[in-house]
A and B are shown apart, each in its own frame.
Chain A
Amino acid sequence: MSTVKAKSAPARRDEAISEATRLRLYQLQVEIRYCEKRAYDLFLQNLVKGTSHLALGQEAVAAGFAAAMNKDDYTFCTYRGHHHTLARGASMLSVLGELMGRQCGLMKGKGGSMHLTSVEHGVMGSYAIVGAHLPIAAGAAWSAQYRGTKQVAVAFFGDGATNIGAFHEALNLAAVWKLPVVFCCENNMYMEYTPISAVTAVKHPAADRAASYGLERQVIDGNDADLVFSTAREAIAKARSGGGPSLIECLTYRHSGHSRADPAKYRPKEEVEEWLKRDPVTLYRSRLLAAGVAEAALTKIESEAMATLERATESAKASPTPALESAMTDVWADGGNAWRN
């Protein structure tokens, strides 16, 4: 826990968060939690094939940012991107359907768990090459700046991405061109199976690099949805008003392994237990109750989320698999795959 208590940027709670927003933050976290658990159940039933990287435990980062973004802002995620895709408004049906390789999936089975994309919700793709999407997000931000649309791009990435060249190239370019982009590191303390501290020259893999690009050092508790929301709101407002990029390191923890194949036995039991006590969803529920929110409002959110999930699961199971011909479409903008006449 010492990392969470590490010197953080001052909490930005100067602007009050409305009750409606707080209920929204809770709803998003609950929906993500339920849907990710269901994704895991569907693996066990062999209805989700391939691999998948769950964001159980990291819901507050997705909820906090999504609630602070405008509808036409851009999200760029990693292969661990279910939570951000759901938070921006993609339906559980379209996400679970994609994981199951069904026709109802976001990309009709052509992308899979690691590449969730929903342009209509501003989710401009999930990228499975570590760090690759940071320059892409910078490019989208440049486009927004060029077109004068006031849109902001947000790139989410793990702690492991901070040691790859694309992270540094993107931050430098974004700073030099003063781009409206927010880089959000979800530091869950492990790059795949290895503690990030064992392979990184600085304590805070993202924030301690900020100074190299003339950016403020920001480390926050990524399990506190209010703090994530208010920090994101400020960084996004800065980007939108021409103030340039921000880099925010959110300390969090994944409750499951790196991927489906990983039981995460490399993590000390005490550490896991400590972090489970700081589960963002249960913490937030308690906070709302303490703040006087009626429990009925919360149980209503929970039961509605569960009902949506059950309907989505059944519909996804009932959805046909894609027509085999679709494997040959959409290589090119004309919809086809022809490389010769």
Chain B
Amino acid sequence: MAQLSYRDAVAAGIAQEMRRDERVVLFGEDTAAAGGVFKTTVGLFEEFGPRRVKDTPISELAILGAAMGAAMTGLRPIAEIMFSDFLACCWDYVANEIAKTRYMSDGQITLPLVIRTANGAGSRFGAQHSQSVENWAMAIPGIKVVAPSTPADAKGLLAAAIRDPDPVLFFEHKSLLGNKGEVPEGEHVEPLGKASVLRTGGDATIIALAAMVPRALQAAEALAKEHGISATVIDVRSLVPLDARTLLEHSARTGRVFTVEENPRLCGWGAEIASVIQEEVFSSLKGPVIRITTPHVPLPASDQLEDAVLPTVARIVNEIKRALGSRRAA
């Protein structure tokens, strides 16, 4: 095991796959010579050269269009969209072109490509550089959606995404980039579509994603220590494909389920998961599935305001305490 930061693990995952497969190419704005504005691609230009690691103009349409054209003709491109907010500039490629072409062509065209993007809040960048938009992508048939929370998963899930024969939208969380963690030495690939159960408890199941995972874990610690509530914490890791079985199993076992979502309230990823849970294990539930989300507002820039709207450890603790308390009162 090596200690790597999340950002270095991203670069390590790309390097691992570029060494093993000549078809893998990487490109985006400031991705090559500069090593990425988030320093997630440092060293790759030096190792693999300008033929395989390329800087592009500020042209999100060209970036995703080129990735698609390259993928359908034999390459395995990794395209970087600097901030996930900018996906809105090239959403046609995600929603209309990349996601649908395999289906529309009756399987004639396959698109093994990865779109990497920096997602999420915590950097005080304001409403156009801080969003969590994984729920946008989840609504479109034909695109896989992955969002790691640890350095090991950043490497392993990215490697799996690059090897996957389908298009994958890969969300790297900005506030996790500096986090360090154990990453297996040597080849590391973590299959897509498997949730990770990080902690097991009998009173509640907390389902979280990306930067909300460490917060959910801290909340579970506090609930256990201070309130005698023992919670299971699950890192969803991959929204599409979704490991519904693991989520359902733990939801049924504990009977109380909480999602912790950074995306704004309406149609957040937890809404679909809550729907699946209530449809399939309703009789095992002891109360409603409760969604802890950012409220339905654009993200403010001020650190005070941003911290106030994101789900915090204290808010997760309070929501769970209140819900379990009200169950006992009833």
A and B: real partners? Answer: yes
- Where the two chains meet, the residues of A that have a C-beta atom closer than 8 Å to any C-beta of B are 74, 76, 106-108, 110-111, 115, 117-119, 124-125, 127, 129, 132-144, 146-147, 151, 153, 165-166, 169-170, 172-173, 176-177, 326, 329-335, 337-341
Closest Cβ neighbor of B110 among chain A residues: A333
* Shortest Cβ distance from residue A175 to the other chain B in the assembled complex, whole angstroms: 10
| Known contacts A132-B65, A144-B73; A339 and B106 CB within 8 A of each other | no
| Known contacts A140-B69, A142-B66; A341 and B109 CB within 8 A of each other | no
A332 engages B69 (CB within 8 Å): no
B166 engages A333 (CB within 8 Å): yes
B65 engages A135 (CB within 8 Å): yes
A173 engages B97 (CB within 8 Å): no
B75 engages A146 (CB within 8 Å): yes
Q: Which of B51-86 contact A (CB under 8 A)?
A: 51, 54, 56-57, 59, 61-75, 77
Q: How far is the CA of A129 from the CA of B96 in the complex (A)?
A: 8
* Shortest Cβ distance from residue A153 to the other chain B in the assembled complex, whole angstroms: 7
Pick from B31-39, B152-160, B242-250, B299-307 the stretch touching chain A: B242-250
Question: What residues of A have a CB within 8 angstroms of the CB of B65 in the complex?
Answer: 132-136, 138-139, 166, 169-170
A135 engages B104 (CB within 8 Å): no
Question: What residues of A have a CB within 8 angstroms of the CB of B92 in the complex?
Answer: 129, 132
Contacts A/B (CB < 8 Å), 19 sampled: A107-B106, A111-B104, A117-B104, A129-B97, A132-B61, A136-B68, A136-B72, A139-B68, A139-B73, A147-B73, A173-B57, A176-B57, A333-B102, A333-B165, A335-B107, A339-B141, A339-B242, A340-B242, A341-B241
Q: Number of B interface residues, CB 8 Å?
A: 49
B108 engages A118 (CB within 8 Å): yes
Question: What residues of A have a CB within 8 angstroms of the CB of B96 in the complex?
Answer: 129, 132
Q: How far is the CA of A119 from the CA of B107 in the complex (A)?
A: 10
A132 engages B108 (CB within 8 Å): no
Partner of A110, one of B61, B103, B142, B166: B103
| Known contacts A108-B106, A127-B97, A331-B141; A74 and B73 CB within 8 A of each other | yes
A141 engages B276 (CB within 8 Å): no
B62 engages A332 (CB within 8 Å): no
Q: How far is the CA of A166 from the CA of B77 in the complex (A)?
A: 19
| Known contacts A169-B62, A173-B56, A341-B243; A107 and B105 CB within 8 A of each other | yes
A332 engages B166 (CB within 8 Å): yes
Question: What residues of A have a CB within 8 angstroms of the CB of B141 in the complex?
Answer: 331, 337, 339
* Shortest Cβ distance from residue B124 to the other chain A in the assembled complex, whole angstroms: 30
* Shortest Cβ distance from residue B29 to the other chain A in the assembled complex, whole angstroms: 12
- 7 extra interface residue pairs, beta carbon distance < 8 Å, beyond A146-B70, A332-B166: A117-B104, A139-B70, A147-B73, A170-B62, A333-B110, A337-B141, A339-B240
B241 engages A117 (CB within 8 Å): no
Question: What residues of B have a CB within 8 angstroms of the CB of A106 in the complex?
Answer: 106
B175 on interface, CB distance cutoff 8 Å: no
Closest Cβ neighbor of A151 among chain B residues: B73
Question: What residues of A have a CB within 8 angstroms of the CB of B107 in the complex?
Answer: 329-330, 335
| Known contacts A117-B109, A125-B101; A147 and B244 CB within 8 A of each other | no
B25 on interface, CB distance cutoff 8 Å: yes
Question: What residues of A have a CB within 8 angstroms of the CB of B70 in the complex?
Answer: 139-140, 142-143, 146
B69 engages A142 (CB within 8 Å): yes
* Shortest Cβ distance from residue B111 to the other chain A in the assembled complex, whole angstroms: 8
Question: What residues of A have a CB within 8 angstroms of the CB of B25 in the complex?
Answer: 146
| Known contacts A110-B103, A115-B105, A129-B97; A147 and B74 CB within 8 A of each other | yes
B104 engages A341 (CB within 8 Å): no
* Shortest Cβ distance from residue B63 to the other chain A in the assembled complex, whole angstroms: 8
B66 engages A135 (CB within 8 Å): yes
Question: What residues of B have a CB within 8 angstroms of the CB of A134 in the complex?
Answer: 65
B93 on interface, CB distance cutoff 8 Å: yes
For the complex of A and B, the 3 pairs showing the least CB-CB separation, nearest first, are: A135-B65, A139-B69, A139-B66
Q: How far is the CA of A138 from the CA of B73 in the complex (A)?
A: 11
A172 engages B59 (CB within 8 Å): yes
Question: What residues of A have a CB within 8 angstroms of the CB of B63 in the complex?
Answer: 135
B193 on interface, CB distance cutoff 8 Å: yes
Question: What residues of B have a CB within 8 angstroms of the CB of A144 in the complex?
Answer: 73
Question: What residues of A have a CB within 8 angstroms of the CB of B243 in the complex?
Answer: 340-341
Q: Which of B89-131 contact A (CB under 8 A)?
A: 92-93, 96-97, 101-110, 112
Partner of A140, one of B73, B103, B112, B193: B73
| Known contacts A340-B276, A341-B243; A143 and B62 CB within 8 A of each other | no
Question: What residues of A have a CB within 8 angstroms of the CB of B106 in the complex?
Answer: 106-108, 110-111, 117, 326, 330
Q: Which of B1-46 contact A (CB under 8 A)?
A: 25
Question: What residues of B have a CB within 8 angstroms of the CB of A138 in the complex?
Answer: 62, 65-66, 69
Closest Cβ neighbor of A170 among chain B residues: B62
* Shortest Cβ distance from residue B184 to the other chain A in the assembled complex, whole angstroms: 24
Closest Cβ neighbor of B106 among chain A residues: A107
Q: How far is the CA of A138 from the CA of B70 in the complex (A)?
A: 8
Partner of A139, one of B67, B101, B103: B67
Closest Cβ neighbor of B112 among chain A residues: A333
Partner of A332, one of B71, B77, B97, B102: B102
Partner of B69, one of A153, A165, A326: A153
Partner of A107, one of B66, B104, B112: B104
